[in-house]
Amino acid sequence: MNIDIIRNIFKINTKNFNIYTLLAVLLLLGGLIHWIYWGARYGKWTDIGIYSLTVVLVLGGLIGILLTLHEKQTD
């Protein structure tokens, strides 16, 4: 029963893939790659500066993907 509620909220339709979805995916990947690169390069995985940039990029990417792929309900 709770699964149906979640499915109705997050109706994802990949036919809605467009340039904005691609930019959101690039933001997500850019944030993750930057965090991994920084940690491997400098050996410091717990830096508030890198977290602040990574969180903005990753959350921007996730929210962008959800917003662009969300199926609009027509009643």
| C-alpha distance across the termini of the chain, in Å | 22
Q: Can you give the pLDDT at residue 8?
A: 62
pTM score of the predicted model: 0.77
Q: Can you give the length of the chain in residues?
A: 75
CA distance 32 to 9: 26
Average pLDDT, 10 consecutive residues per value, the chain (75 residues): 62 80 95 94 89 95 89 66
